[in-house]
């Protein structure tokens, strides 16, 4: 594989759009469930951005069983490099801002509904 193709596979796609969070809102004030959602969301975004590299490794690993460790080492390294480039602090903050925005919208939606006695 030539160096240009290798670099193209290691370069992640564009980042996911995230809402701007008010500076006075604490991103660290998330529940454990929300933090788990943040990790899952970040993982989904990373897999979407590195889809080509993951597909490249998957195609190689489909041809081997035990030998995948040796035969697909280069493919694995390319995939891991792409995922390493994607999983940054900025991406984690972007996922947190999406979760915080969802929470804010949910709270606003509940507050806008009329209260019921029963």
Render each residue's pLDDT in the chain as its tens digit; 118 residues. 778 887 877 787 777 776 666 555 555 578 899 899 999 999 999 999 999 999 999 999 998 888 888 999 999 999 999 999 999 888 888 888 888 888 888 888 888 888 877 7
The answer for 24, left when phi > 0, alpha when psi is -120 to 50, beta otherwise, is alpha
- What pTM, to 2 d.p., does this model score? 0.74
The domain of 76 spans: 31-112
Question: What is the total count of domains within the chain?
Answer: 1
From CA 55, how far away is CA 70, in angstroms rounded?
A: 18
User: What is the reported pLDDT for 55?
Assistant: 92
Is residue 104 in some structural domain? yes
User: What is the reported pLDDT for 37?
Assistant: 93
Rg (CA), the chain: 20
Is residue 22 in some structural domain? no
Query: Is 38:96 a contact under the CB 8 Å cutoff?
Result: yes
User: What is the reported pLDDT for 73?
Assistant: 92
């Amino acid at each position: 594989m030539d160096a240009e193709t290798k670099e193209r596979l290691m370069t992640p796609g564009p980042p996911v759009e995230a809402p701007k969070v008010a500076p006075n809102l604490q991103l660290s004030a998330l529940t454990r469930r929300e933090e788990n959602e943040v990790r899952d969301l970040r993982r989904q975004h990373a897999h979407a951005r590195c889809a080509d590299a993951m597909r490249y490794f998957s195609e190689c690993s489909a041809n081997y069983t035990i030998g995948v460790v040796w035969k697909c080492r280069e493919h694995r390294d390319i995939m891991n490099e792409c995922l390493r480039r994607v999983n940054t602090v900025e991406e984690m903050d972007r996922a947190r801002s999406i979760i915080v925005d969802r929470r804010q919208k949910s709270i606003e939606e509940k507050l806008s509904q009329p209260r019921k006695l029963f």
